[in-house]
A and B are shown apart, each in its own frame.
Chain A
């Protein structure tokens, strides 16, 4: 019997995670004790303060490079960079979630239990203050994401996956309007998410089996052991490859890579738009953070074997995202397919086995996060009496009605299309260049070709906004409240600045691009 030893825990290094989870718990208490009238303000302030405090801790500990909690958590460059990214993007998403002036009562349902399409439902849609549980749920999700990108063993990673996924399933169901669509989205996301989690867990089990029997090591699923097992294990490599495949599927599901992307359009469309933005920005960062760590740390010895398979997945993802975006008629679904295609481009960066590939991917995640949040912020503003007008035909002539917001949206679409002087160009360059250096020209060629296809749906929206005559059905753009304005300004400015002067962030990403083992 080995003696059970308590692992040493570096609380300071874990502070961002602890702050977010702590704030979520306090948020639950706020729900119970603070009067309904003041709950929204208190919750929003609490969540934002927690995010900023966590961000401060990340910045203070920017030079930490350590393993803690019995090697279950790695606090290193990528962890800190990605945690910082998640926190900044989450702050923007919280601003959108907290917006109450664009729609009376906010984007969220007042009572989630009210039957959809009932009389009560119609009454609550008229402007009863939205439910405030969204804040603790969001805070929990952020905490889970922070663990997810820091997890240094597969079980911790699985727990983190569940911690951030479950609140997201709930958040998806909380739209104030079109509640059936929203609930359907949540249901689909939950069922398919559970399904994918099972794959992940099965993969963990196979890998655990694979690690047993290495001379001088105990079986385990921490990344150091897995890394050693890849070269030294006497067990059948079938275990390794089947396990690796199943793990990858669990992660690729979250990353929305084809063919595990099927949930994305439905969920992006059904979820409340601020939540969609949160998922598109933060979940992407978390999922790719985990993918980077798993494949660059644990399985780096098998890079020759996984690269062609994941490369094929990347190409398929780019193709599916780009081609299907062409015929979309709903702006949220269009952005969903764009997000799928972007997952393909990100995979190109993940597969470049170099420091530049790692830093390029991290840069891409941040740049894309800012742009996509700004895009969904604009979507929340284009409304008519029935809420957001997301059908593309309704956007015709928007440039005449609201040239300012149409111009902003045009700029963001150009960034998505990768036009120079926007972050879309620099970030694509940041992932394609290392891929070329690593002799993966086929991925880059696929990336460039699909980018061309993808430019079409973007430009179609631009053309529709500017060159069509506004019809009676063209909605107006609501004047955004201070919170949405702030998020929009941050997103657009970041898209511009990262396009014009990307060097500081690239340097930061480069400096952070080294995992501890």
Chain B
């Protein structure tokens, strides 16, 4: 028997969950509307709004943990009502939403705090905080909505905030281009999500989570497959997964806090959230799950390979984000208990990746905005806090025991080995290989940045540590990088049990390898990868690009995915546009202008018939009368019938 999903009505304190969305939104509106008048204190308002949301989120979280039915929904008002199509503006606060709320507001608060200092010398700081608050509001709406339309609303909202912030320094052509690229690639994914929602409404007549999930059983396998693939397309777009991954690294053109919050910790995990939230749909079709797992596996390897070949500190981190989200996709694709594992990894990743991005920002802050890791080195002496906190993040992401990545990533690798037959070897092997590669390129990044000989550009004499307002968030996030994994891995899966569908424990296959063996293997490849990188890069590296073999060249060129996009989509697109413009100018405009000229000319000629003489008017009437009478008689005689 299918498990049915039921939500309780929100009551008491939980009746004010909408405040979570409203507070950052109002703050964003104030910052945008007041304009320069808010320049002096605007950033503190932005920080306070997120802080308040975090405190509220915590309160709701404890309130929720005391409830019997841990899924409460609240319908605020009817949003759309057209014929049979009804959408409520409704919120759903359940364990899944709750952990996301804590991640978004908690990490968000720290990054906001960091940004106060980071953006201190930027004229647009108030605008920055307005967009940042807008992002948080939209992201909270995305995870709190109780139907797909609300989710889509938030989805587009975070997209908007993301484009605004990527091209925040719109004066730089590269930032403006990156914003456009992100926008265009996201459109592809968003169109998929939108069509998915249409399909949902066409087949089930609703977009409410509970009704959709309870109705999935009545759909044919093909419908579920199509629906799932469309949702997946949306998810890959937002989360920078194959085949829509190319925008995410370019998005690093935005200010570093943006990269940390939006393009590492929260927004890019929206795809994972979408799949986890829609787990009844994805669990209902094995082909669908296979596709998700494949996307995850391909992306995680791709991210590792490219990340190993990049020299821009933020791009390496960006590709590592792509790769880590690949792990999460792998997890949600495996289904069953692995959903919770993916969410655990998502949360742990939120901490350590935000930590490392902010660390990178701190390094750039001290190094005149230099981003090339070949130009760093020996910074551990000058930036102790940044170095130590970054180290925590590094150890966490490569999955070193007992840092958080170990507890969150290793179970996913184990779960990948629990699949049936050869797919266990394929996906398990990919996950294991990914772990080794991650260790390699992250160690390379770490060693080149903080150790080895200094290879700075001439203009830098003494790199300085960042001010307190930046290091305190770093320290807090570093603590999270150390401890979060163990805490999350032991508590979150139980907590998520109560979320509709996520509790369903599938009878797992026996892993093809013993559990302890997988653990040992994954630690082994990690140590191997890290050791190799240490050996290779402890003495620094050349500051100029070196000739490289086929694989490295391919990786430096993003495995030719950009070239592929350019050849397959951009060139024909540009050609099509040119052709259409030509057609429009010559054909359609010609037709329109010609028609207009014809009408004008005809009008001018006809005008001469209006002579002003009564006699000619009378003739006209008489002619008309003869014609009308003749026509009537012709009709009567049957000539016109």
Contact = CB atoms under 8 A, between A and B. Distances in A.
B632 A244 contact: yes
A376 interface: no
A305 B631 CA distance: 10
Given A195-B621, A196-B621, A327-B603, A309 B632 contact: yes
B610 interface: yes
B616 to A, nearest CB: 8
B543 interface: no
A456 interface: yes
A348 B631 CA distance: 18
A306 B636 CA distance: 9
Contacts of A29: none
Interface string B601-614: 01110110010101
B59 interface: no
A245 B629 contact: yes
A188 B615 CA distance: 9
A192 B603 contact: no
B614 A259 contact: no
How many A residues are at the interface, by size bracket?
35 or more
Given A238-B636, A308-B640, A456 B618 contact: no
A240 B627 CA distance: 16
A245 B602 contact: no
Given A265-B610, A323-B599, A323-B603, A238 B633 contact: yes
A293 to B, nearest CB: 19
B63 interface: no
Nearest to A195: B618
Contacts of B596: 456
Given A192-B617, A323-B606, A260 B624 contact: yes
Given A323-B603, A327-B603, A249 B617 contact: no
Contact of B610 (A196, A308, A309, A324): A324
Contacts of B612: 266
A253 interface: yes
B476 interface: no
B628 interface: yes
Contact of B621 (A245, A262, A305, A327): A262
Interface residues of B, number: 28
Contact of B607 (A192, A244, A306, A324): A324
Contact of B636 (A237, A259, A320): A237
Given A249-B624, A249-B628, A309-B631, A326 B614 contact: no
Contacts of B607: 324, 327
A327 B602 CA distance: 9
Given A191-B618, A253-B621, A266-B612, A453 B599 contact: yes
Contacts of A248: 628
Interface string A421-461: 00000000000000000000000000000000100100000
Contacts of B508: none
Contacts of A327: 600, 603-604, 607
Interface in A184-231: 187-188, 191-192, 195-196, 199
A513 interface: no
A262 B636 contact: no
Interface string B578-594: 00000000000000000
Nearest to A325: B603
Contacts of A260: 621, 624-625
A305 B633 contact: no
A36 B57 CA distance: 83
Contacts of B633: 238, 241-242, 245
A312 B630 CA distance: 13
Contacts of B617: 188, 192, 262-263
Nearest to A316: B624
A241 B628 CA distance: 10
Nearest to A240: B636
Nearest to A266: B612
B599 A199 contact: no
B631 A242 contact: no
B405 to A, nearest CB: 58
Given A241-B632, A266-B612, A308-B640, A259 B603 contact: no
A199 B622 CA distance: 10
A242 B632 contact: yes
A313 interface: yes
B620 interface: yes
Contacts of A246: 625, 629
A192 B618 contact: yes
B627 to A, nearest CB: 8
Contacts of B625: 199, 245-246, 249, 260
A240 B600 CA distance: 40
Contacts of A323: 599, 602-603, 606
B621 A259 contact: yes
Interface string A291-329: 000000000000001101100110000001001111100
Given A266-B612, A313-B628, A324 B603 contact: yes
B632 A245 contact: yes
Contact of A259 (B599, B620, B635, B640): B620
Nearest to A249: B625
Given A242-B633, A263-B617, A324-B607, 4 more contacts: A245-B625, A245-B629, A245-B631, A253-B621
Interface of B: 596, 599-600, 602-604, 606-607, 610, 612, 614, 616-618, 620-621, 623-625, 627-629, 631-633, 635-636, 640
21 contacts: A195-B618, A237-B636, A241-B629, A241-B633, A241-B636, A242-B632, A245-B629, A245-B632, A246-B625, A249-B625, A259-B620, A260-B621, A262-B610, A262-B616, A265-B610, A305-B636, A306-B635, A309-B632, A323-B602, A324-B603, A456-B596
